[in-house]
Amino acid sequence: MERYLLVALGGALGAALRYGLGAWLQGYSSGFPLSTLAINVSGSLLIGLVLRLSLEGALSPEARLFLAVGVLGGYTTFSTFSYELLALVQGGEGGRAFLYAFLSLALGFGAVALGYALGGRG
């Protein structure tokens, strides 16, 4: 139960951070999705840092769970995607990394377009 609480509290914090940063950056976007880009890039940087510190033993498993799954999961799931892509590349699986990136983008775009169409008034 404690692990779920860590994730839930971290997720709430991450979502609030995403909302706050997104609202602040929205004034600078001029039609370009700058806030989403900044959140995805900063989340990717932070998950790389958190997971490396965790592997080095500088963070406890509970801190890793709170930060990587909770805070950064609520902040952006793109950071998880980026880390998984890195793990595939580092594991010598360049072909699978490319396939994962391509399918994530293509299927994600297709799914959002389909959902958008399904939600419209016919």
Residue numbers in the known binding site for Na(+) are: 73, 76
**Annotated binding-site members:** 73, 76
DSSP symbols for the chain: -HHHHHHHHHHHHHHHHHHHHHHHHHTT-TTS-HHHHHHHHHHHHHHHHHHHHHHTTSS-HHHHIIIIIIIHHHH-THHHHHHHHHHHHHTT-HHHHHHHHHHHHHHHHHHHHHHHHHTS--
